[in-house]
Amino acid sequence: MTPTPKAFSTINQVVEDIAVTRFKQYLQIDTEHPDPNYRSCENFLHKYASELGLQPWSCELAPGKPLVGMTLLGENPSLPTLLLYSHTDVVASYKERWTYDPYSGYEDIEGNIYGRGAQDMKSIGIQYLEAIRRLQLANKNKFLRTVHVIFCPDEEISSEEGMVKFVKTNKFKELNIGYCLDEGTASPDDIYLIAYGERASWWVKVICQGAAGHGSRFLENNAGLKLQSILNSFLGYREEQRKRFLNKEGGIQPNVVPAEFQAWFDIRLSPFENFDKFEEMMAGWCKNAGPDVTYEFVSKNRNTPTTPISKEDPWWSAFTSVLDEENLKYSPEIFPGGSDSRFLRELGYKAIGFSPIINTKLRVHDNDEFLNEKVFLNGIHLYTKIIERLANLQPFNE
Ligand SMILES: [Zn+2]
């Protein structure tokens, strides 16, 4: 293991690890929606790249929305490359609910570093770069394959002006990606969670129409009864598929039977589900509920392929060889939420989601989001080995 670079004050006291300092500085840049400070972020990252001797570049995907990249050329630049992905934006913090200011980078006595983005995912962006710094300090300045580090905007608001646009650019094609590391999720115990696919989200609005009338009448064509049937069908299916019932609308006053009810469903489909069959089943539920029951999609993601997790896959095998050497427990899983990896997987690229965060309470998008300094530094140690191993992966039939 490469010794951790330490800074010393004049009285020879150990002060903060440079990685921790950079992490706090990054957390202090407010990149919260709806008005992320992407320009400060870009300046910070460009300066950081020069400090590490990496070639920085930017790709302005929309006015004021730069994607920042850094490239470390490999000995054989024609080989498919390693892409280290992170996003720079964070969700709203609601400051008043926090114990410490979410943009102060405050560290408490236990070493917990607070900030919006501490878990999702400013920590990871810094960990990639600090792993590269440690490799350089060990005189490992060049690998067989080129390594790109990218920092994307707008991931938290559906990536329309982020990854969705970027994958259509020539710059993206030029990256010639072989394997991508993206975010995963924090683990409450000692098992690292590795995402190799994700659920597709379908937001469906079901509209039940019927006859309006006075509450005292026994209406035949009752929208409420249709809604009940729909709820029974969807929620009954909940045992097999994770769903969240969002809200139901309708009802004017207690003695009036409304002519229309709407129900919204947030459905997360596993990539192993037959999407056409599922829609057929949903249409059947609407038909069974009675006449004038229709559904429409508010959003409908396509099914995306999963990334191979068999020992025969050289990338996966190289990645997990590091975890095995370190005697770590890990579990491949289907990511319940969405990440930018889906845009890569859709195009046939291999991407896995890995956040080196264990024994940590999940506080993604929550108040008091934090990461412990020890967990953070240990993550750098892991990336040091992972980056070296993947970037030196011998050519194979790719
Ligand atoms: Zn994220």
The domains found in the chain, sorted by start residue, are: 18-198+306-391 (3.40.630.10), 203-269+272-300 (3.30.70.360)
Task: Determine whether 260 is an active site residue.
Answer: no
Count of Cβ atoms closer than 10 Å to residue 301 Cβ: 18
- Report residue 242's pLDDT band, with 50, 70 and 90 as the boundaries: low
Are the C-beta atoms of 338 and 365 separated by less than 8 Å?
A: no
The arithmetic mean of pLDDT across residues 153-174, rounded, is 96
Would you place residue 238 in the very low, low, confident or very high pLDDT band (cuts 50, 70, 90)? confident
- What whole-number distance in Å separates Cα of residue 28 and Cα of residue 342? 29
Place of tokens 């609308």: 249
Contact predicate 206/293, CB 8 Å: yes
Distance between Cα 366 and ligand 1 center (Å): 12
> By three-state DSSP, how is residue 38 classified?
helix
Q: Are 145 and 70 in contact (CB under 8 A)?
A: no
Q: What is the dihedral of CA 178, 73, 392, 26, to 10 degrees?
A: -80
Which entry of 32, 89, 107, 373 is annotated as an active-site residue?
89
Per-residue pLDDT at 252: 54
The DSSP bridge partners found for residue 305 are none
Establish whether 87 is an annotated binding residue.
yes
Name, in order, each residue with C-beta under 8 angstroms of 154's C-beta and a sequence gap of 6 or more: 61, 65, 87, 89, 160, 161, 162
Ligand 1 centroid distance, CA of 154 (Å): 10
198 annotated as belonging to a binding site for a ligand: no
- Cis omega (within 30 of 0) for bond into 163: no
Cα 339 to ligand 1 centroid, rounded to whole Å? 7
Tokens of 105: 């980078």
Region 28-50: what's the mean pLDDT? 97
CA distance 334 to 304: 12
* Omega before residue 34 within 30° of 0, cis: yes
Rounded Cα distance, 43 and 176, in Å: 26
Q: Whole-angstrom Cα distance, residue 335 to residue 236? A: 23
pLDDT digits (tens, 9 = 90+) for 333-356: 998 878 999 999 999 999 999 999
Q: What is the pLDDT of residue 149?
A: 98
In the prediction, which pLDDT does 268 show? 85
89 is an active site residue:
yes
pLDDT of residue 220: 73
Per-residue model confidence (pLDDT) at position 151: 98
Determine the distance separating the centroid of ligand 1 and the alpha carbon of 348, expressed in angstroms.
Answer: 21
pLDDT of residue 388: 98
Q: What is the pLDDT of residue 301?
A: 84
Q: Answer yes or no: is 46 a known binding residue.
A: no
Higher pLDDT, 175 or 248: 175
How does residue 5 score in pLDDT terms, banded at 50, 70 and 90? low
- Residue ranges of alpha helices (H) inside 2-107 are 18-27, 38-52
Q: What is the 8-class DSSP label of residue 90? A: B
Average pLDDT of the segment spanning 36-57: 97
Calculate how far, in angstroms, residue 183's C-alpha sits from the geometric centre of ligand 1: 6
> Taking residues 284-306, what's their average pLDDT?
91
Burial string for 283-294 (b: 16+ CB within 10 Å, else e) reads eebbeebbebbe
Residue 351's H or E segment, with its range, is strand 351-354
- Kindly give the residue spans of alpha helices, DSSP state H, lying in the chain: 18-27, 38-52, 122-137, 163-166, 170-175, 223-237, 275-289, 314-325, 341-346, 373-391
Between 257 and 92, the more confident residue is 92
